[in-house]
A = this chain, B = another copy of it.
Amino acid sequence: MRLLLISNSTNAGEAYLGWPRPHIQSFMQGTGVKDILFIPYAGVGLTTEGDQASFDRYEVRVQAVFSELGLNIRSIHHEPDPVGAVREAAAIAVGGGNTFYLVKRLQELGIMEAIRERVLQGAHYMGWSAGSNVACPSLRTTNDMPIVEPPSFHCMGLIPFQINPHYLDANPEGHGGETRQQRIEEFLIANREMKVAGLREATFLQLEGNRLSLGGSRPMRLFQFGQEPRELMPGDDLQFLMG
């Protein structure tokens, strides 16, 4: 199995999908695959003209970046048979946006399970933000607002732990709400057997076969119930997360 799970598309003030470009390129290099099935369903509000227009715009935006890398995307929202399109895909990219919006549609179209099966068969999978969250067992560590109600919180479970994308250490000034760490600690109280990888911006996890590694320029913060959070660096052994 091959996974590229990216925390965030875009660092503040940088170009769209700027920092992950070399990592996407190296992930696809040597695969012989140029055509990627794109899943735009997390995209809400790229326009107010309805979902189709919003997904169209999302596709154009991502294509502009992938073209520079010599890659073509074809968005699944054009497909009359989305499950069939997944079954034929050699590579799949799931874009970020709202995780609930994404999960609702993946489940309703039956492609949550189809993508899982296809990736287990060897299709290359990349996702950023919400697209990384849905590779986890469930959506329960998303930061997104639950703007729609999906049939369930169940996701692909391609990895056995949860990612919290856009992990951040600080709270906005003057804000009395929970910090991200507190939120994750609450998740662990309710889900004691789970591990959570706080994936800071400009970082990613990559799985090659069963070998997991952290990439990017910052450490990852790992949370387990009843243990102090641990900082893990690129190069550290992460195999215990796959156990």
Which residues of A approach B to under 8 Å, CB–CB? 8-12, 44-45, 48, 98, 101, 138-149, 152-153, 166, 168, 170-177, 182-187, 189-191, 201, 225-226
Number of copies: 2
Q: Which of A141, A148, A168, A172 has the most CB of B within 10 A?
A: A172
3 pairs of A and B residues whose beta carbons are closest in the complex:
A147-B187, A149-B153, A145-B183
Q: What residues of B have a CB within 8 angstroms of the CB of A173 in the complex? A: 170
Q: Are A190 and B140 in contact (CB under 8 A)?
A: no
Q: What residues of B have a CB within 8 angstroms of the CB of A175 in the complex? A: 12, 166, 168, 201
**A-B contact list, 10 entries, CB within 8 Å:** A8-B177, A45-B189, A140-B146, A140-B147, A144-B183, A145-B186, A146-B146, A149-B153, A175-B201, A176-B201
Q: What residues of B have a CB within 8 angstroms of the CB of A143 in the complex? A: 145, 177
Q: Which of A45, A173, A184 has the most CB of B within 10 A?
A: A45
Q: Are B176 and A8 in contact (CB under 8 A)?
A: yes
> A187 is contacted by which of B138, B145, B152, B187 (Cβ under 8 Å)?
B145
Q: Are B152 and A149 in contact (CB under 8 A)?
A: yes
CA distance A140 to B176 in the complex (A): 21
Q: Are A142 and B148 in contact (CB under 8 A)?
A: no
> A146 is contacted by which of B153, B171, B177, B226 (Cβ under 8 Å)?
B153
